[in-house]
Chains A and B, each alone.
Chain A
Amino acid sequence: MFPLNDAGMISGLVCGALFGFILENAGFGSPTKLTAQFQLRDWSVFKVMFTAIVVSAIGLYALKALGLMQADAVFVPTALLMASAVGGALVGAGFAVGGYCPGTSVVGLFSGRLDALVFLVGLLLGTVAFAGLYGPAIEAVMALGEVQAGDTVTDAYGVPELAVLGILVAALVAVFYAGSWFERRSAGPVTSEQAVAGASSES
């Protein structure tokens, strides 16, 4: 019966290495490629993320349906609407300005990018700032808008799991169609040569 609840070094290294290998091969060590998503020129970030979410969600559903996975043993983030919205907005702004998100900055640094190291220093400073401000006031704001009924879309709003998966698949198809349309009308996806050369003023 899964999950194995393995918290060891080997599973961490293996899962992480596969994660990093895939992110670099997708081009997500390059801030040019990552930020091109927000310029709607290169839809790789949406395409890869949506595909991964759908594949993993369907896999989890199938494993549970087959009785191989304990339904309540998988970690689901608490449905804190205010905290998720504020955090999402700040990480999105940081991504647009800094060119990375936390995970991809590690990929950027280990493909040779020194600006990714500066971003990582910023991450630590941002964490220090949060820790410095942490207290009853910030905790109260973060607790706003908690969905009491449950943490998953199914538990919180009563949408059947299969319907949620269906909506995700439809959204995935829409992202690929819309993305490819935008990519054809613009300079197109950032190539590996452009990414390795570094961001240029004309792009």
Chain B
Amino acid sequence: MAVNDGMSVQRVKPFWPPLVAGVALGLVLLLTFVLTGHGLGATGATTRATAWLGLAVAPAATQSNAYLGPMVEGGHPLSSWITWQVVGVAIGAVVAAFMGGRFRVQLDGERSVGAPRRLLTALTGGMLAGFGARVSAGCTSGLGLSGAATLGVAAFVFLGLFFATGLIASRLVKGV
């Protein structure tokens, strides 16, 4: 099925060259270190969201859980710098997408692998990443990117295995 070009009022602007995006990202990461003493992240917020939802759905099980319990003890689990940072990511992304004429509601991957398979790969991929990021106490942003900027050993090990496994897995499974 072809994309309806007649519907798009605004021209789709090209992406930034990788060097430009990389320098900009490096400077924002540096600014984050200067302001806060730590880098950028993502799963810190999704973990807190899990604790918060857990408290709403199954309060007793969440409070007694060895991992989520301590998170819901000291005040609201979402009350944290990383939550605001992820809210910021959402705002920055939606602004950039609209400015670039790139906002489009879609199930990406529907045309390539079909909707049922795409829903399954997105859910499975998210579960693998969610579990993995708790094992390593950080994801591609929080551990890989931010940790590597501080020359942390853990970050380079994470990135090496991240890329190696990704290369193999993308040959075995067509996710998108």
Q: 8 Å CB contacts to A: which residues of B7-28?
A: 12-16, 18-19, 21-28
Q: Which residues of chain B are near A66, meaning CB under 8 Å?
A: none
Closest to A153 in B: B151
Q: 8 Å CB contacts to A: which residues of B35-78?
A: 35-43, 46-47, 49-50, 53-54, 65-68
Q: Which residues of chain B are near A87, meaning CB under 8 Å?
A: 132-138, 143, 158
Partner of B93, one of A2, A106, A123, A201: A106
Question: Chain B: interface residue count, which band?
Answer: 35 or more
Tell me if A123 and B130 are in contact (CB < 8 A). Answer: yes
Task: Tell me if B's interface is mostly helix, strand, loop or mixed.
Answer: helix
Partner of B84, one of A13, A26, A84, A127: A13
Tell me if B133 and A15 are in contact (CB < 8 A). Answer: no
Tell me if A119 and B122 are in contact (CB < 8 A). Answer: yes
Tell me the count of chain A residues lying within 8 A, CB to CB, of chain B. Answer: 135
Q: Which residues of chain A are near B109, meaning CB under 8 Å?
A: 31, 99, 115, 198-199
Tell me if A113 and B108 are in contact (CB < 8 A). Answer: yes
Question: In the complex, A74→B112 CA distance in Å?
Answer: 44
Tell me if A130 and B134 are in contact (CB < 8 A). Answer: yes
Question: In the complex, A101→B49 CA distance in Å?
Answer: 17
Partner of B137, one of A18, A83, A154: A83
Max count, chain A CB within 10 A of own CB: residue among B83, B104, B151: B151
Indicate whether A120 sits within 8 Å of B126 (C-beta atoms), given known contacts A106-B89, A192-B15: yes
Q: Which residues of chain B are near A151, meaning CB under 8 Å?
A: 152-154
Indicate whether A3 sits within 8 Å of B93 (C-beta atoms), given known contacts A24-B100, A105-B126: no
Closest to B134 in A: A130
Closest to B173 in A: A97
Partner of A127, one of B40, B105, B108, B130: B130
Q: Which residues of chain A are near B162, meaning CB under 8 Å?
A: 88-89, 91-92, 95
Question: In the complex, A9→B152 CA distance in Å?
Answer: 27
Closest to B27 in A: A55
Question: In the complex, A135→B81 CA distance in Å?
Answer: 27
Q: Which residues of chain B are near A186, meaning CB under 8 Å?
A: none
Question: In the complex, A128→B149 CA distance in Å?
Answer: 30
Tell me if B94 and A88 are in contact (CB < 8 A). Answer: no
Closest to B69 in A: A131
Q: 8 Å CB contacts to B: which residues of A131-179?
A: 131-132, 134-135, 138, 142, 147, 151-154, 156-157, 161, 164, 176
Indicate whether A3 sits within 8 Å of B118 (C-beta atoms), given known contacts A24-B92, A81-B157, A84-B161: no
Partner of B128, one of A38, A43, A97, A135: A97
Closest to A57 in B: B149
Interface string of A91-121 (1 = CB under 8 A from B): 1111111111111111111111111101111
Closest to B155 in A: A77
Q: Which residues of chain A are near B148, meaning CB under 8 Å?
A: 53, 57
Residue contacts A-B, CB under 8 angstroms, 23 given: A3-B35, A5-B37, A12-B87, A15-B85, A23-B89, A25-B16, A55-B22, A63-B30, A83-B135, A84-B153, A87-B132, A88-B165, A94-B127, A95-B140, A97-B121, A103-B139, A105-B126, A111-B103, A114-B105, A114-B106, A124-B49, A126-B133, A195-B15
6 tightest CB-CB pairs across the interface, nearest first?
A: A98-B125, A122-B126, A16-B88, A87-B136, A126-B130, A51-B22
Show the binding face of A for B, using Cβ within 8 Å: 2-9, 11-27, 29-33, 35, 37-39, 43-44, 46-57, 59-60, 63, 69, 73-81, 83-116, 118-132, 134-135, 138, 142, 147, 151-154, 156-157, 161, 164, 176, 191-193, 195-201, 203
